[in-house]
Structure 1
């Protein structure tokens, strides 16, 4: 029976709503599955035929350590998704790479540690005169941690937020806050091995005059959603552009494409989640079993011949 490790973090294991349904589905698919924390030094990862990243949600504060761990694991087992994908996707500078390939990305200005935050922020606001509000967040981040929504009148507070990130040697991001999010939320489309599985609606996470969450991730309002044809088409284009950027030869085991609508109603890419996205099995009947069946096929096809 193939052996699979589902990777979490010691601080996150109890917070991952996908773990129990995935464990049950893997059992039905004939996979011996165990949940292990990436930061547990006692785990012998070579004992597993594959290691599937699920909720290592504290990696953003320990990125180099996490990527070093991914590198070690990839020499001992099959890491899903693979190391080059994880290294590329854990830093949101990938949005610039996708924009260069023609993907309609939410307008993003990166602020690097050697830049002056206030003039950079002022230049960003000048470039987006119609944006009543904007968002500051780190380029390496997850779960809306260290992300905050500001009005144009809060320029000085926002610049201080950027400065704090830069002083910690973290790149920052500036994006217009699209008003459609308050009405429509985000659409997250889930793909397993390149095939669309299901979608959910995520309610607005960043509230006015509310500071960044102090938890591993902000509380989310999730409901099932049928994506629009334009959203599905864009999500497929995003995955094709990512595959081209990464020179992938086969579809990714999992991917989540997070979209929001622009002021004119067109969908735009907010984030592409290829490292540790929630897969929202509870909101799509049969989705955990579909995913487990694909994992079983992957494990069988990669097993050494006897």
Structure 2
């Protein structure tokens, strides 16, 4: 079994302009390589936009650290469709297309998944941004790109703050204090089964939990009610993804709310889930027959 791990020029090990968080790419590749090589299989990191690659040389392609897709979405989806014609793609292109715009949260909410209250600003302007504070009944709001990743192009504003220019369709959500106190809880699933959970905490003085901003992670043992909330998100999907990360934050009533369902290129935190590589290898073997 030979698998392509789709990456991007900003994460590949030989890139002169590697992202500061590209060590996460290395952790995933090391995790998968150990599991695959122990069974005589191979996984190779390849940039998704490499026009010289013959994708039919691979038994499948895993979407990995393609951490520039949010700024090249049309080209990314077009390339994934091409790859899917040549080999098996995980997760599939149709699922990726749906998950690439955070409006998927509306679909999940309609299925009963509890999400963070959200106001959609397709053409964001200062008037609409200021109106969001009343619409969401909050004095502290986070504005995020509808197609975005790693908190890039994100703004946290208090009522009365100057409104920066927002060049992309945005979403507005009330800032939830639990992100600073408890942190964000992430649940990793492989082929519909729970793999591991972790808690992600922001650096002092920040609220963003990504490693790019000083965020840190620790293993987490979820209680039954939290586990049920995360499992319900996965259960709401018509087609089971090969891999998924469910990111949740606690609401004011004490229940977890979905903040993101990552189905495209999630970092799955192998250091907090030491069995991840073996689980993904076994799941791929089942899917590929």
State TM-score, norm by structure 2: 0.90
Instruction: Name the structure 2 match of 1:231.
Output: 226
Kindly indicate whether residue 274 of structure 2 is the aligned counterpart of residue 272 of structure 1.
no
- The answer on whether the counterparts of 2:133 and 2:139 sit within 8 Å (CA) in structure 1 is no
**What's the secondary structure of 1:13's corresponding residue?**
coil
Segments of structure 2 that go 5 or more residues without pairing to the other structure are: 14-21
Give how far 1:207 is off.
Answer: 5.0
Aligned to 1:100: 110
Partner residue of 1:149?
156
Distance 1:64 1:219 in 2: 31
Change (3 A) 1:296 1:31: farther
Cα distance per residue 1:19-66 (max 9 Å; x no partner): 111111111133222111112211111111100001000011100000
For 1:216 and 1:61, how far apart are their aligned partners in 2?
20
Find the aligned partners of 2:154 and 2:205 in 1 and give their Cα distance: 11
Q: Show the counterpart of 2:133.
A: 125
Maintained 8 Å contact 2:190/2:243 = yes
- Higher RCO by CA contacts (8 Å cutoff, separation 6 or greater): 1
Answer whether contact 2:32 2:43 (CA < 8 A) is retained.
Answer: no
Unaligned runs of 5+ in 1: 302-306
Distance 1:72 1:263 in 2: 45
Q: 1:106 to 1:78 in 2, by over 3 A?
A: same
Counterpart selection for 2:277 from 258, 267, 288 = 288
What SS class does the counterpart of residue 86 from structure 2 fall into? coil
Residue 61 of structure 2 corresponds to: 51
- Counterpart position of 2:72: 62
For residues 172 and 55 of structure 1, the distance between their equivalents in structure 2, rounded to whole angstroms, comes to 23
Is residue 121–residue 169 contact of structure 2 (8 Å, CA) maintained in 1? yes
The aligned residue for residue 11 of structure 1 is 10
Q: Alignment partner of 2:10: what SS?
A: coil
Matched, 1:111 2:121: yes
Residue in structure 2 matched with residue 304 of structure 1 by the alignment:
none
8 Å Cα contact 2:99/2:264 also seen in 1: yes
RMSD of aligned Cα (Å): 2.1
Report the CA distance between 1:18 and its aligned residue. Answer: 1.1
Quote the residue 2:177 is aligned against.
179
Q: Is the 8 A contact 1:110 1:172 kept in 2?
A: yes
Residue equivalent to 1:164 = 166
Q: Give deviations 1:162-211, integer Å, cap 9, x for gaps.
A: x432xxxx210100000011001100000000000100111137955x9x
Map Cα deviations across residues 204-253 of structure 1 (whole Å, 9 max, x no partner).
Answer: 37955x9x99x99544311111122222111121122232xxxx2xx211
Task: Measure the CA separation in 1 of the matches of 2:42 and 2:63.
Answer: 16
* Pair 1:53–1:217, CA change in 2 (3 A): farther
**Are the equivalent residues in 2 in contact too, given 1:31–1:296 (CA < 8 A)?**
no
